[in-house]
Structure 1
Amino acid sequence: MAMTVERLAEFGAAWREKDLDRLMEFMTDDCVFRSSVGAEPGATFRGRAEVRRGFELMLSHDAGSESHDGISFVAGDRGAAQWAYTRTDADGREHRVDGCDLFEFDGDLIRVKDAYRKVHGSIG
């Protein structure tokens, strides 16, 4: 079996539902998660136990935010998905973080999830 856009959407739904057990059902035994935050930049987690811990840390990092999905595509053993989080601060202002995941697949499982996010700040 090969990864499909519909199956990738199921992974996204599990992420929005913060369902770690379901998320791990999509991952290979030799999976890698490159998170969008951390010191490397980002943090890399390898293997099922570490990837699960990385997913848990990332979901905790974004706790209190509302998750939104965007377009996704699959092209052979690669794919991508857009996403966003919105959060309201103590002053009632809404903040949005946009990002995407780049994926490498092994059949209908995810071998690599490589996450990127737009960071607000000045460039000049």
Structure 2
Amino acid sequence: MKIDDLQAYVDAWNKHDIDEIMSFMSTDCIYETGGGTEVHGTRYSGHETVKSRFMSVLETMPDVRFDNAKHFVKGNRGCSEWVFSATKPDGTKIALEGCDLFTFHKGKIKVKSTFMKHRH
């Protein structure tokens, strides 16, 4: 994976194109959310399970965007920083800084671990 690939991945999210989003993920991918009851957040494993979770995000927050993205890649690791914005199902607008830490395998995203700031 290269920086241009990570930007294309963010662009796929901003287009809400689930098939394009998933084309970047390995078949045995893992997605770790920014929150949850476990130390790593909530973990989703496997292509179809991760796809279902991503679809849920797109369906519940249909205007979700990742803007001001900055990326770096070093070997089989990478990071994307962004500003996440969306409208929650209750109509509340949110905007948060965050990042994804990636582990790559054979040119695909094997692990996506999300971190987000929380506003109080």
Q: Do they fold alike, i.e. is TM over 0.5?
A: yes
Q: Which runs of 5+ in 2 are unaligned?
A: none
Partner of 1:4: 2
> How many Å separate the matches in 1 of 2:16 and 2:115?
19
> How many Å separate the matches in 2 of 1:97 and 1:69?
12
Moved over 4 A (4+): none
| Counterpart AA for 2:44 | F
Q: Secondary structure at the match of 2:63?
A: coil
| Counterpart AA for 1:108 | G
> How many Å separate the matches in 1 of 2:87 and 2:25?
32
Deviation at 1:7, TM superposition (A): 0.9
Q: Secondary structure at the match of 2:16?
A: coil
Deviation at 1:16, TM superposition (A): 1.2
> How many Å separate the matches in 1 of 2:51 and 2:93?
29
Aligned identity (percent) is 30
Deviation at 1:85, TM superposition (A): 2.4
Tell me the number of residue pairs that the alignment of Structure 1 and Structure 2 aligns: 116
Q: Which moved more, 1:59-68 or 1:99-108?
A: 59-68
Partner of 1:22: 20
Q: Which one has the largest radius of gyration?
A: 1
| Counterpart AA for 1:11 | Y
> How many Å separate the matches in 1 of 2:2 and 2:68?
16
> How many Å separate the matches in 1 of 2:61 and 2:97?
12
Deviation at 1:70, TM superposition (A): 1.9
1:36 partnered with 2:8: no
TM-score of the aligned structures, taking structure 1 as reference length? 0.80
TM-score of the aligned structures, taking structure 2 as reference length? 0.83
Deviation at 1:80, TM superposition (A): 0.1
Taking a change above 3 Å as real, the CA distance of residues 20 and 6 of structure 1, as seen in their structure-2 partners, is same
> How many Å separate the matches in 2 of 1:36 and 1:111?
17
Q: CA RMSD in A?
A: 2.3
